[in-house]
Structure 1
Amino acid sequence: MNRRQFLASSAAIGLLPRQAIAGSSMYRLRAEEVTSQVLPAGDGTTRMLGFNGSMPGPELRMRRGERVTIDVENGLEEGTAVHWHGIRLENSMDGVPVLTQNIIDPGDTKTYSFVPPDAGTFWYHSHYISHEQVARGMMGPLIVEDDEPVDVDHDITAVLSDWLMERDGALIEEYADRHSVAHAGLLGTFARAFFSPSDVRVGDRIRLRLINAATNRIFPLAVTGATGRIVALDGMALPEPRAFDQIMMAPAQRVDLVLDVSGSVKLDMMSRQGPYELGTIEAEGMNAARQSAPIAALPSHAIPAAADPSKHLTLRMMGGAMGGRHGGDNIWAFNDVSDLQSAPFGAFKRGETAKITLVNDTSFPHGIHLHGHHFHELGEDGSSGDLRDTTLVFPNQSRDILCTFDNPGKWMLHCHMLSHAVGGMRTWVEVV
C-alpha cells in the first residue's frame, strides 16, 4: 500500500449512518447495491453492496437482555445471509447457511430474533460468499448498550476496512484470486475508518469503539491527540483498564478505548512506509467542565470463569503458500481436512469445558473465530487471559484457548481472514 497513492486524510472522513434508535427492539435491513464515497470527496464514488442505502450499514443499538427483531430483506440479485458477530445468541439465528439456515433468496425477507446477553461492541456482516460480499461492503456496527451509561462525553464507533480499488474508486473484482487466497488474503489498496457523528471538544472524555471489518487485513493502530486505556476486547469488559501504545487488530476483532481528548484524535495504521491516516475526529472548542479522574472499568460481563477442562483438542492450521502438504482438497486445511465436513471437529455436552490448542503450521497469521461463544486466551503458563471470540495466531506459533460450550447448536469455527476461509479453513463444533 503506497501512502502517496492512496491516503485517507481527514477530508476523507465518512460518517456512519445512525438510523437505529438506541433501545429499539425492531429493525429492518435491506441488502442492496449502493454507491458510497469511500475515497475522498471529488476522487470518485464506488459501486458496492450495503444495507439501507449505505456502506457501512446503519449502526444498530439495542438493550442487553431484551429481545430484538431484525427483518433482513434481500434486495440483491444473489442470495445472502447475515451473521451477528460476537453475539451469544440462539443457534438458529446465527446466520450461517448450511449450519443454521437456508440462504435468503433474492426478494425474500428473513426475520432474525434474539436476546443479546452481553453489553458491548459487536457487528453484523454477510456470511454467504462472505469473502466477496463483505469485501463489497456488506457490514455494519451493532452496539449493545450498557445497563447504566458510562461516564464519557461521546460514544463513537469506528468501522475500519480496506478495499481493492482503482484510482477512480471502482472495485477490482478479484475476490477469490488464488494467489491472494494462498498468501495473506486479498488486501485492499485503500483503507479508512468510518466514524459515527459527534461534536468533540478538547477536554472531552470519549469512548471509541474500534471494529476491524476488513476481510483479511490486520491493522496495527496508533492513536494520537488523546490518551487513555483499553477497556474492552471483542465486546467483553476488561477487569481493569489497560494501557496501550499500539493496538493490533485481526479481522473481526473489536477494541474499546476510553480516551481523554487533547486535540484532534487521529487514527493511524502503522505501515513500513510510516503512519497511514485512516481518519481523524476533529476537536473544536474546549470542555472546561470535565474533571480529571482515573478511567474506570466498564461493568463486568456475565460470563463465569471457566471450569477445569474435561477435553483437550488440537486444531492444526495447514497449507497455503510455502506451507507443507496436507490431506485436504483445498488450499488450506484444519487437521488435514478442508472445508465443512459431515462430522464436527468437536462435540461437547452443554456446559462442558474444553481446552483447544491452536497450532499455526503455516507461513501466515490466522484470526480464528468461534461462533456463539467467547473463550479465554491462555498464557504460556496456563493462566486464564482475555475473553475473545476471535484470536490471532502468528506463523509457526500456537495458542491455547479455554471455552465453556454452554450454547447448544452447530457452531462454525473458522479463520476470519475470509480468503483463508473460502480456501478451506472452515470447520464446526456441536453442543448438545
Structure 2
Amino acid sequence: MTGFSIGRRAFCAGLAGTMLARPAWGATDRLVAQKASVQLAPDGYPATPVWSYGGTIPGATIRMRQGDRLQRQLVNELDVPTSVHWHGIRIDNAMDGVAGLTQEAVRPGGTFDYDFTLPDAGTYWYHAHTNSMEQVARGLSGALIVEEADAPDVDRDEVLMLGDWLLDPDTGGFVEPFNHPMMMSHGGRTGNLVGVNGRYDFALTAKRHERLRLRLINSANARIFVLRLQGMRGWTVALDGMPLDGPEEVSDEIVLAPAQRADLIVDITADEGAPAGLLMWMDDDSWEALAEVKVSGQSATTPRPAPTALPPNPRTALPDLSEARSLDMVMEGGAMAGMESAMFEGERLGFRALIEKGQFWALAGQAGRTETPFADLALGEVLRIRLENRTAFPHGMHLHGMHFREVRADGSFGPLRDTILSVPDEPLEIAFTADNPGKWLFHCHMLAHAASGMTTWINVT
C-alpha cells in the first residue's frame, strides 16, 4: 500500500421472552442493510463505497434499558444475503443471527424480524454474520448499549467503536479480494486507516475533573488494539458487557482483541490545553493518539472519589468444576506453523490440499463447521475447554450465547468474557455453565481465520 499518507493515524501494519404479534414496523424499528458512500479517509481522498446499516459507519447506536424488548426488522437492500448477530447478548438461539446454523440468510429484498428481551446491562454490538469477514469489513456493524436501572454517577456516557479499514488511496474503495491468501493465512485483514466511530480524526471535548464513561468496542476484523490513557485517571468497570466485582484502576495498557469490549470510568486530569485521550501502540513501538480529548474549562476544583462497582447482571455465579467435563481444543494451521492434516467435509486432507480448498486453520483437528457439534451438552452442564495455540498468531476466541471464565493456573477464575485472546504457546483454559439451550457458534473473531477453518459449534439441549 503506497501513496496513502494521512498523517499520524495512517499506517500499513498491515426468545428469551415470549414472541408476540408482529409489530407494525416503523422507520426507527427497521435495520436497513444498504450500500452507501462515506468519507472514511481525510478530505482530498475519494469517498468510500460501503455496506452499512442505515447509511452510516458505524450503524446507529441502539440504546435501551435492561429488561427491554428489542425489536428490529432487518431489511436487506444489498445484492447479497446477510444476517445480524447480536454480539454478547444471552438471547434465544433463534435470534442469534448465524446464517446456516440458527437461521437462513436473508436474501436480497428480504426481511427478518429480530425480537428478544435484553437480560443483561452492558456494552454490546451488532454485526453481519453471513460472510462476516467481508461484510463486517465493508461496514456492517453498530453498537448496542443496554443501560443499567441504577446507572453510575458520570457526567457523560460515550461509545467509542474502534475500527480500521484497508483502503485503496487512489479510489477510496476497499482493497480486494477480501479472501486474499496472505490475509487468510497470516494475522487477518488489517487496515491502513484506523479510526473511532467512523472518523480517523475522532475527538471529544471535556472539562478538567469531568467524569466520563467510555464504552470501548473493538469492531476491527483482526487488529488487536493496545491502548493507554493520557491525561486521564481511569478504572475498568466491565469487560465484554459484564460488570467486574469492583472497579480496577487502569495502571497499564488496555488490550482489546477483535470483538472485545471494555467499560472505563475516567476522570479528566489534564489541564486546559494539555494532551489527553486514548493512545494507541504502533508497530514502530511508538504511541499515537487514537481518540483525543480536548480539555477546556474545569467542572470541579477537586477530583471525585473512586467509582463504585456496577450492579451485577443475573446468572453470573461461578461454574462448579467438581463434575465438569473437560475437552481439549488444539488450534493449528496458518503460515509459519501449518499442520499435517485435518478433517474437512468428512475427509482427512493434508495441509496443501486444505489450502487449495481455502482452509488454512483447524480447531481440534477439524477445519470449518460440521454437522456435528464440538460438544453436545445437557442444560446446566459445566464444560472446561483447554485451548492450546500451536499456530504463530494470536486468536480471539468468541462463544455465542453464553459467557465463560478463564480458569487460572492457581484454580481461581477470571472475569466473565465472551471473547478471549489466545496467544501462541501459552495454553489457557475456560469454563462455563451451559445455561442457554441452542446451537452456539465458537470461533476465532479474526474473521479471516473463522472463514478459513477456525469455526465450530456447541449444542446445548
Cα offset for 1:89?
0.3
Q: Does 1:246 align with 2:253?
A: yes
Q: Is the 8 A contact 1:367 1:392 kept in 2?
A: yes
Question: Secondary structure of 2:194's match?
Answer: strand
- The farther-off stretch of 400-409 and 262-271 is 262-271
Name the CA distance, whole Å, in 1 between partners of 2:324 and 2:119.
Answer: 26
Name the CA distance, whole Å, in 2 between partners of 1:115 and 1:44.
Answer: 41
Residue type of the partner of 2:278?
A: L
Q: Does 1:183 align with 2:181?
A: no
1:155-166 alignment runs, 5 A limit: 155-166=157-168
Name the CA distance, whole Å, in 2 between partners of 1:29 and 1:164.
Answer: 25
Name the CA distance, whole Å, in 1 between partners of 2:110 and 2:203.
Answer: 32
Q: What's the counterpart of residue 282 of structure 1?
A: 294
Q: What's the counterpart of residue 374 of structure 2?
A: 345
1:125-144 alignment runs, 5 A limit: 125-144=127-146
Residue type of the partner of 1:268?
A: L
Q: What's the counterpart of residue 433 of structure 2?
A: 404
Percent identity between matched residues is 41
Name the CA distance, whole Å, in 2 between partners of 1:222 and 1:81.
Answer: 35
Cα offset for 1:53?
1.2
Q: What's the counterpart of residue 401 of structure 2?
A: 372
Q: Is the 8 A contact 1:7 1:190 kept in 2?
A: no
Q: Does 1:322 align with 2:336?
A: yes
Q: Is the 8 A contact 2:68 2:118 kept in 1?
A: yes
Residues 218 and 129 (structure 1 numbering): CA distance in 2 closer, same or farther, change over 3 Å?
A: same
Name the CA distance, whole Å, in 2 between partners of 1:364 and 1:275.
Answer: 23
1:413-424 alignment runs, 5 A limit: 413-424=442-453
Structure 1, unaligned runs of 5 or more: 11-23
Larger Rg: 2
Q: What's the counterpart of residue 13 of structure 1?
A: none
Cα offset for 1:395?
0.8
Cα offset for 1:185?
0.8
1:7-86 alignment runs, 5 A limit: 7=7, 27-86=29-88
Name the CA distance, whole Å, in 2 between partners of 1:249 and 1:401.
Answer: 18
- The farther-off stretch of 184-193 and 327-336 is 327-336
1:361-410 Cα shifts (integer Å, max 9, x gaps): 11110010000000011111121111100000001221100110100000
Q: Is the 8 A contact 1:204 1:290 kept in 2?
A: no
Q: What's the counterpart of residue 279 of structure 2?
A: 268
- TM (normalized to structure 1)? 0.92
What number of residue pairs does the alignment pair up? 419
Q: Is the 8 A contact 1:61 1:143 kept in 2?
A: yes
1:281-319 Cα shifts (integer Å, max 9, x gaps): 323322127752112111122222212242001111011
Name the CA distance, whole Å, in 2 between partners of 1:301 and 1:288.
Answer: 32
1:15-47 Cα shifts (integer Å, max 9, x gaps): xxxxxxxxx9x7321011121222233433211
After superposing on structure 2, the runs of 4+ consecutive aligned residues of structure 1 that deviate more than 4 Å are 1-4, 195-199
Residue type of the partner of 2:342?
A: G
Residues 147 and 60 (structure 1 numbering): CA distance in 2 closer, same or farther, change over 3 Å?
A: same
Q: What's the counterpart of residue 222 of structure 2?
A: 216
1:99-138 alignment runs, 5 A limit: 99-138=101-140
Cα offset for 1:103?
0.5
Residue type of the partner of 1:325?
A: E
Q: Does 1:87 align with 2:99?
A: no
Name the CA distance, whole Å, in 2 between partners of 1:415 and 1:344.
Answer: 16
Residue type of the partner of 2:282?
A: S
Name the CA distance, whole Å, in 2 between partners of 1:197 and 1:104.
Answer: 37
Q: Is the 8 A contact 2:203 2:292 kept in 1?
A: no
Structure 2, unaligned runs of 5 or more: 11-25, 344-353
Question: Secondary structure of 1:128's match?
Answer: coil
Cα offset for 1:144?
0.4
Question: Secondary structure of 2:231's match?
Answer: strand
Q: Is the 8 A contact 1:7 1:277 kept in 2?
A: no
Residue type of the partner of 1:344?
A: P
Name the CA distance, whole Å, in 1 between partners of 2:84 and 2:43.
Answer: 30
- The farther-off stretch of 279-288 and 333-342 is 279-288
Q: 2:318 aligns with which of 278, 295, 305?
A: 305
Name the CA distance, whole Å, in 2 between partners of 1:404 and 1:262.
Answer: 42
Q: Is the 8 A contact 2:96 2:102 kept in 1?
A: yes
Question: Secondary structure of 1:358's match?
Answer: strand
Name the CA distance, whole Å, in 2 between partners of 1:3 and 1:271.
Answer: 19
1:118-144 Cα shifts (integer Å, max 9, x gaps): 100000000000000000110100000
Q: Is the 8 A contact 2:67 2:118 kept in 1?
A: yes
- The farther-off stretch of 43-52 and 385-394 is 43-52
Name the CA distance, whole Å, in 1 between partners of 2:131 and 2:422.
Answer: 24
Q: Is the 8 A contact 1:312 1:354 kept in 2?
A: yes
Name the CA distance, whole Å, in 2 between partners of 1:290 and 1:51.
Answer: 43
Q: What's the counterpart of residue 15 of structure 1?
A: none
Residue type of the partner of 1:331?
A: F
Q: 1:355 aligns with which of 373, 381, 384?
A: 384
Q: Is the 8 A contact 1:86 1:122 kept in 2?
A: yes
Name the CA distance, whole Å, in 2 between partners of 1:197 and 1:147.
Answer: 29
Q: Is the 8 A contact 1:319 1:326 kept in 2?
A: no
Q: What's the counterpart of residue 239 of structure 2?
A: 233
Residue type of the partner of 1:188?
A: G
Name the CA distance, whole Å, in 2 between partners of 1:381 and 1:2.
Answer: 49
Q: Is the 8 A contact 2:442 2:458 kept in 1?
A: yes
Q: 2:306 aligns with which of 294, 299, 317?
A: 294
Residues 102 and 243 (structure 1 numbering): CA distance in 2 closer, same or farther, change over 3 Å?
A: same
Q: Is the 8 A contact 1:9 1:40 kept in 2?
A: no
Aligned-CA RMSD value: 2.2
